[in-house]
Structure 1
Amino acid sequence: MFSQGQLLFALCFIIAFVIVMIISYRKDIKTHKIFYKGNYKILIGFFIFIAILFLIKIFFKH
């Protein structure tokens, strides 16, 4: 499906992308602590919303 060169490029791209993202996050960690307090509440709310959607799907399936 993909040539060996394309797979090699994809692998190199993913590795480089992850490294750059880690470096960028470490540079901005002080800013994240100031401006993004309480983000875990939004994440928990999102997971609860997804769980409710699955429960509704299961409930109406039967």
Structure 2
Amino acid sequence: MPVQRGFAAGLKRFVWRVIGWIVQYEEKRLSRIALSELTDEQLADIGVTPSEARREAARPFSS
């Protein structure tokens, strides 16, 4: 049954890869939401202009 083991291992790698993509997507989504909620003073503290923050927050999550 080596074919089944190979298939199972490939499936496991695929599932972990999909989970990784989901985690990255969610991290980007939450970061952009947080960025959009910062005040102008908070943005200045991190060296980001309000227009840069709006542009980044408006980007699609796949980017």
Normalising by structure 1, we get a TM-score of 0.47
Higher relative contact order (CA 8 A, sep 6+): 2
